[in-house]
Structure 1
Amino acid sequence: MKQEPATPPGAPRRRAGRPRSVVLDRDLIARAALKLVVAGGYSTLTMSSVAKSLGVSPSALYNHVESKQELMQWIQEIVMDGVDSSVFETLPLDEALAEWAVTYRDIFTGHAPLIPLIAVLPVSGSPRTQEMYEKVAAGFSRSGWNQAEIVPAIVALESFIFGSALDATAPLDIFDPGENAGRMPSFEGALAAQRATGEHSADAAFHLGLRAIIAGLVAKAGKR
């Protein structure tokens, strides 16, 4: 039987089969988009940039996602999936709110560039986010809350959580008085005392504020 001649040393090897291609799906596209936003902010998120990061053409991307708005909702789904709302099914309202808020803040501390976007993004295309709100609202309802006050309470908590997540990314020396040292004795004394505790100022502020908000909400419910 006649044999094929051996490939000469150094000669390019022939490719076997068809070249590899990216198999696109919702999760792959959303995670690529999320990576872009976290690295460079919302301004870096374009359909072309996402396509480039995946090694495909923009037209290939549009076969899976219709618009940048839909893409943001996919990102929202990934991020919000890390927020633990299952605690409202097993814990009293005050404990559930504390656990939920901590996971919520931790998630967005790592995704701070998304806060201005997700805070105002409609939830109509985000089933996981809707599921979270349903569990939180059900927790309030089981505790006897007035239905008309549940959404305002949730929004108040979210506003605090988003602000706390941003604060966690601030530089540690944000309150240093610089050349005005010694001119703010009350504030500088309080600042020194807080630093002496060894606790990160953003963490201290978050936990103090969270306890106060939850205590206020519980007290409000108890006055009915």
Structure 2
Amino acid sequence: MENGAPAVEARRRAGRPPHPVLGPGRITKAALRLIARDGYKGLTMSALARLLNVAPSALYNHVSSKQDVLLLVEDHLMAGVDISGFEAGPWHQAVRGWAWSYRNVFARHTPLIPVIAVLPVTNAPQTVKMYEAVTAGFHAAGWPPDQIIDAIVALESFIFGSAFDVNAPAEIFNAGELAADAPLFTQAVASRASGSGSGPGGDERPVSPSDTAFGLGLEALIDGLWAQRALAPKARHP
């Protein structure tokens, strides 16, 4: 039996490892699971290592800090935002598709919004790719270069806030016992519940209140920004 033991051990080493190979994709998925379960404050390197069932030293072989983990998460989320409309579509349509996609991605990961919203894009290739595509779309539409980033930030501020609204309680505007003190507000809330609004693309169909509000605000932003662009000096193209 002793002579057979080394052969058995050799066969074990040649097979699959007991756990999936650690890499950026697995670390990112685990980080998202951890944040969904425990919130952003629950994302620590030690907690992430435990969830991955690896020693902290093994984790540090792939990411040097929590900041690196956040960059992986940021890139993963931004890669899911649809930027295809900026390749050839009209500016209004491209911004509309991008914004709806952006909101929907972050509505599924609201604990990360306060972090991602202020996280530098440095060394996040998918994030930079997204911003480059959007910037190129603005540039092609004749936007002055000095106004492009401000317009994107204005849209993002609305998008992030609207992502929170997707998960708001259904009765968030229920005044309860104070309804008699706010009759106009109460009536407006009741009218909202029985109405319909615009979904992606502006089509009229019954949608959730958060979709209605987002569609209304987004169209106003798009039209308002376009009007501002028309008043600005024309961008000079090379």
Query: Normalising to structure 1: TM-score of the pair?
Result: 0.90
Deviation of the 1:109 alpha carbon? 0.5
Matches within 5 A, 1:1-224: 17-18=12-13, 20-197=18-195, 199-224=207-232
* RMSD (CA atoms): 1.5
Kept after mapping to 2: 8 A contact 1:36/1:45: yes
Q: CA deviation at 1:202?
A: 1.3
Query: Offset at 1:21?
Result: 3.5
**How far apart are 1:57 and its partner, in Å?**
0.4
Corresponding residue for residue 202 of structure 2:
none
Structure 1: stretches of 5+ with no match in the other structure: 1-13
For 1:126, the aligned partner's letter is A
Q: Which runs of 5+ in 2 are unaligned?
A: 1-7, 197-206, 233-238
Bigger drift between 141-150 and 16-25 goes to 16-25
1:92-146 residue CA offsets vs partner (Å, 9 max, x unmatched): 1111000000000000001111100100000002111101111111111111111
Counterpart amino acid of residue 46 in structure 1: T
Deviations 1:133-169 (A, max 9, x none): 1111111111111111000000000000000001111
Q: Structure 1 stretches (4+) deviating beyond 6 angstroms?
A: none
Question: 1 CA distance for matches of 2:224 and 2:77?
Answer: 28
Alpha-carbon deviation of 1:73? 0.2
**Identity within the alignment, %:** 48
- State the aligned residue count: 211
Amino acid of the structure 1 residue aligned with 2:145: Q
Instruction: Give the Å deviation of 1:185.
Output: 1.2
- Using the TM superposition, give the Cα deviation of residue 20 of structure 1 relative to its aligned residue in structure 2, in angstroms: 1.6
Output the amino acid matched with 2:75: E
Q: Offset of 1:179 from its aligned partner?
A: 1.1
Q: Report the Cα distance in structure 1 between the residues aligned to 2:214 and 2:121, rounded to whole angstroms.
A: 26
Secondary structure at the aligned position of 2:136 is classed as helix
Going by fraction, where is helix more abundant, 1 or 2? Answer: 2
1:30–1:71 CA contact under 8 A, matched in 2: yes
* Letter of the 2:174 counterpart: D
CA contact (8 A) 1:22 1:55 kept: no
Instruction: Report the secondary structure of 2:225's partner residue.
Output: helix
Whether the aligned pair in 2 keeps the contact of 1:108 and 1:165 (CA below 8 Å) is yes
TM-score (normalised: structure 2):
0.85
